Amino acid sequence: MSERNAEHGGEYAALIAAARTARENAHAPYSNFRVGAAVRAKSGRVFTGCNVENATYGLTMCAERVAIFKAISEGERGFDAIAVVADTDALTPPCGSCRQLIWEFCGDAEVVLANLAGKVERHHMAALFPKPFDASFL
C-alpha cells in the first residue's frame, strides 16, 4: 500500500532532500538516468548515494546500493528508511538487485519514492519484495 504526500514528503522530507542532492552527483553519461538515494540508520545518521554508470552497464552501481555500502563501510547497522529520487513522472522503485540488498540490510524498512516535481509514495519493503531470499534459508 502506498501513501502519497505531494507537498513535502511528510516526516521524510529531509531524507528526500538528501537523496535529491545526492542525485546531482550521479555519473550517468550513457543513460542520462540520474538517481539519488539516502538511507537513514536507526541511529539517525543519513548516508547518501548516486548511481555510477560504467560502459559495460553490468558494472554500474545503483544509488541505493552506494548509500547502503557507504553506511556499512562506516560501521552502521540497522536502518529504518530509504528514499529514492529520480526525474521521472512515474516514481522509480528500486531494481531487483537493490531490493535484495535493501531487504538484507534494512529488512521491512520504509521505502520512500520521490521525483523532482514533488510526487511522493511510501511503501514497506515487504510489499515491494514479497517472499525474499535471506539468511533464514541458509
Catalytic residue among 24, 53, 64, 121: 64
All domains of the chain in start order, with CATH: 3-129 (3.40.140.10)
Q: Is the pLDDT of residue 6 over 90?
A: no
- CB crowding 89-121: b at 16 or more within 10 Å, else e: eebbbbeeebbbbbbebbeebbbbbbbeeebbb
- Catalytic, 64? Answer yes
Residue 122 pLDDT? 97
pLDDT digits (tens, 9 = 90+) for 15-57: 999 999 999 999 999 999 999 999 999 999 999 999 999 999 9
Q: Which whole number is the average pLDDT over 111-134?
A: 97
| Cβ–Cβ < 8 Å for 69, 77 | no
Confidence (pLDDT) at 10: 83
Q: How confident is the model at residue 128 (pLDDT cuts 50, 70, 90)?
A: very high
**Whether pTM exceeds 0.85:** yes
- What pLDDT was estimated at residue 9? 61
User: What's the whole-number mean pLDDT along residues 90-100?
Assistant: 97
**Per-residue pLDDT, 38:** 98
